[in-house]
Structure 1
C-alpha cells in the first residue's frame, strides 16, 4: 500500500481530514482561521503507525493545493515538517518557525 492508495476526505463537520487504513479511521483534526489551517491532533489506529508519514504527506499535499498555510500544533506533524523543512517551508506562515 502506498501513499497513492490513501483517499483523503475533509470532514468539515468534525473538522478533520480522514482516511481509511486497514478498514479503520485515521484522522488529523484541524481548526481554520483566515488563510491558515492549524493541524492540532493526529490519531492513527493501532498497528498502522507505519502509515503515519504517508497520511501526513497526503494531508499536506491536499492543503498545498488549497493555497493555504499550515500551522502544525500536533507534535507528530510538526516533527515531520521539521524533518522535511525545505520541502514544506512554503506551507508555513511567514514568521512561523518550528
Structure 2
C-alpha cells in the first residue's frame, strides 16, 4: 500500500468524488438529498484495489467536514462502514443500521 495521500475532488456536475491513483481515475458516485449523501457506486481502476479503503476513508472524511450524513448504498462502501462501525457510526442518519 502506498503512503501517498489521495487528493479528493468533488465533481458536482457528474455527482461523484474523484481521485487519481497511478494516473487513473477512481470514482465514488453519489446523490444528495437534504442533509444526506447517498454513496451509490464505487469504481476503482484495475490493479488499484489496495487503495480502495484509503479512497473510501478520504471521501468519508470530506463528508464529515461538511456535517452531512451518509447512506452507503454501494456494497463495498457499506461493507467498509460495517467493518469500521465504531469510527463511522456518527455519519449514519438516525435509524440507519448497516
Q: TM-score range by the shorter chain?
A: over 0.9
1:4-23 mapped onto 2 (5 Å cutoff) = 5-23=5-23
Gaps of 5+ in 2: none
Alignment partner, residue 40 of structure 2? 40
Gaps of 5+ in 1: none
Alignment partners' CA distance in 2, 1:88 and 1:68? 12
Alignment partners' CA distance in 2, 1:56 and 1:40? 12
Q: Deviations over 1:37-77 (max 9, x none)?
A: 00000000000000000000000000000000000000000
For the residue of structure 2 that corresponds to 1:97, the secondary structure is coil
Alignment partners' CA distance in 1, 2:22 and 2:11? 19
Alignment partners' CA distance in 2, 1:31 and 1:9? 15
User: Over aligned residues, Cα RMSD in angstroms?
Assistant: 0.7
For the residue of structure 1 that corresponds to 2:56, the secondary structure is helix
TM-score after normalising by structure 1: 0.97
